[in-house]
Amino acid sequence: MRYVSPYDPAARTPVAAAPRPESLAGRTVALLDISKNRGAEFLDRIERHLRERGAEVERYAKPLFSRPAAGELVERIAARAGLAVEGLAD
Protein backbone atom coordinates (compact mmCIF):
# COMPACT_ATOMS: atom_id res chain seq x y z
CA MET A 1 0.00 0.00 0.00
CA ARG A 2 1.33 3.42 -0.89
CA TYR A 3 0.53 6.35 1.35
CA VAL A 4 1.00 10.06 0.77
CA SER A 5 3.72 11.11 3.18
CA PRO A 6 3.22 14.20 5.35
CA TYR A 7 7.01 14.59 5.45
CA ASP A 8 9.35 16.55 3.19
CA PRO A 9 12.19 14.18 2.28
CA ALA A 10 14.47 17.12 1.44
CA ALA A 11 14.24 18.37 5.03
CA ARG A 12 14.79 14.88 6.45
CA THR A 13 18.16 14.21 4.84
CA PRO A 14 20.56 14.08 7.78
CA VAL A 15 23.55 16.37 7.73
CA ALA A 16 26.65 14.70 9.10
CA ALA A 17 28.21 16.38 12.13
CA ALA A 18 31.69 17.77 11.64
CA PRO A 19 34.44 15.66 13.23
CA ARG A 20 35.40 16.61 16.78
CA PRO A 21 38.70 18.45 16.94
CA GLU A 22 41.71 16.76 18.52
CA SER A 23 42.63 19.89 20.45
CA LEU A 24 41.35 23.40 21.09
CA ALA A 25 44.78 25.03 21.04
CA GLY A 26 44.94 27.75 18.43
CA ARG A 27 41.37 27.15 17.28
CA THR A 28 38.80 29.94 17.11
CA VAL A 29 35.61 29.20 19.04
CA ALA A 30 32.46 31.28 18.48
CA LEU A 31 30.23 31.72 21.52
CA LEU A 32 26.67 32.62 20.54
CA ASP A 33 24.61 34.34 23.22
CA ILE A 34 20.94 33.66 22.39
CA SER A 35 19.84 36.57 24.62
CA LYS A 36 18.13 34.51 27.27
CA ASN A 37 18.21 35.25 30.98
CA ARG A 38 21.77 34.75 32.39
CA GLY A 39 23.10 33.21 29.20
CA ALA A 40 26.02 35.63 29.17
CA GLU A 41 27.16 34.40 32.61
CA PHE A 42 27.29 30.85 31.30
CA LEU A 43 29.25 31.93 28.25
CA ASP A 44 31.68 33.99 30.38
CA ARG A 45 32.56 30.81 32.25
CA ILE A 46 32.88 28.79 29.04
CA GLU A 47 35.10 31.52 27.56
CA ARG A 48 37.44 31.34 30.54
CA HIS A 49 37.76 27.55 30.25
CA LEU A 50 38.34 27.72 26.52
CA ARG A 51 41.05 30.35 26.84
CA GLU A 52 42.79 28.21 29.48
CA ARG A 53 42.92 25.48 26.84
CA GLY A 54 44.53 27.78 24.32
CA ALA A 55 41.53 28.63 22.19
CA GLU A 56 40.75 32.02 20.68
CA VAL A 57 37.21 33.10 21.57
CA GLU A 58 34.83 35.37 19.68
CA ARG A 59 31.49 36.42 21.11
CA TYR A 60 28.29 36.77 19.07
CA ALA A 61 24.68 37.38 19.98
CA LYS A 62 21.31 37.01 18.35
CA PRO A 63 18.58 39.47 19.32
CA LEU A 64 15.88 37.04 20.52
CA PHE A 65 16.22 33.50 21.86
CA SER A 66 12.97 32.27 20.34
CA ARG A 67 13.86 33.00 16.73
CA PRO A 68 16.55 31.19 14.71
CA ALA A 69 19.81 33.03 14.15
CA ALA A 70 19.83 35.04 10.93
CA GLY A 71 21.55 33.34 7.99
CA GLU A 72 24.04 36.19 7.79
CA LEU A 73 25.09 35.63 11.43
CA VAL A 74 25.46 31.88 10.91
CA GLU A 75 27.60 32.50 7.82
CA ARG A 76 29.76 35.00 9.70
CA ILE A 77 30.37 32.47 12.47
CA ALA A 78 31.07 29.68 9.99
CA ALA A 79 33.56 31.87 8.12
CA ARG A 80 35.49 33.03 11.20
CA ALA A 81 35.35 30.16 13.66
CA GLY A 82 36.19 26.47 13.60
CA LEU A 83 33.88 25.63 16.51
CA ALA A 84 30.77 27.12 18.02
CA VAL A 85 28.98 26.97 21.35
CA GLU A 86 25.39 28.16 21.59
CA GLY A 87 24.46 29.36 25.05
CA LEU A 88 21.14 28.44 26.63
CA ALA A 89 20.10 29.89 29.97
CA ASP A 90 17.55 30.11 32.83
Partner 1 sequence: MAPAFTLPSTTGAPVALADLLAAGSAVVMFVTDDCPTCELALRRLAAADAEVTVVCEAPAAAASRLAARTGFRGRMLSEPAPYETSRAYGIEAVPTTVAIAPGGDVTGTVVGWDAAALSGLAGVDLDGEAPARKPGCAAKSTYDAAQLAADAEAGDDPEAMFELGWTDGLPTVAPTPERVAAMLGGRDRAVALGPVPPGMGEATLERVAACAVLAGCRPQHFAVVEAAVRAMLVPGFNLHGQAVTTQPAGQIAVVNGPVRAAAGLNSRMGALGPGTRANATIGRALRLVVALTGEGMPGRLDRSTLGQAGKVGTCIAEDEERSPWPPLHVERGLAAGTSAVTLLAGDAPLSISEHRSRTPEELAAALGWGAATLWSPNWWPIGAATLFVICPEHADTLAAGGWSKADVRHAIWEAVQRPAGELRRGEFTDRVGEAADDDLVPKWDSPDDILLIVAGGEAGRFSAVFGPCVGMDWSPVTQEVRCDT
Residues at the contact surface with partner 1, assessed by CB under 8 A: 1-8, 10-12, 14, 64-68
State whether residue 4 is helix, strand or coil. Answer: coil
How far is 19 from 12, CA to CA, in rounded Å? 21
- The least CB distance from residue 30 to partner 1, in Å, is 21
Instruction: Determine how β-strand 28-33 pairs with β-strand 56-61.
Output: parallel
DSSP letter for 19, please. P
- The least CB distance from residue 58 to partner 1, in Å, is 25
By beta-carbon proximity to partner 1, the closer residue of 23 and 66 is 66
- The least CB distance from residue 8 to partner 1, in Å, is 3
What radius of gyration do the chain's Cα atoms show?
17
Tally of CB atoms within 10 A around 75 = 11
By beta-carbon proximity to partner 1, the closer residue of 3 and 20 is 3
By beta-carbon proximity to partner 1, the closer residue of 38 and 53 is 38
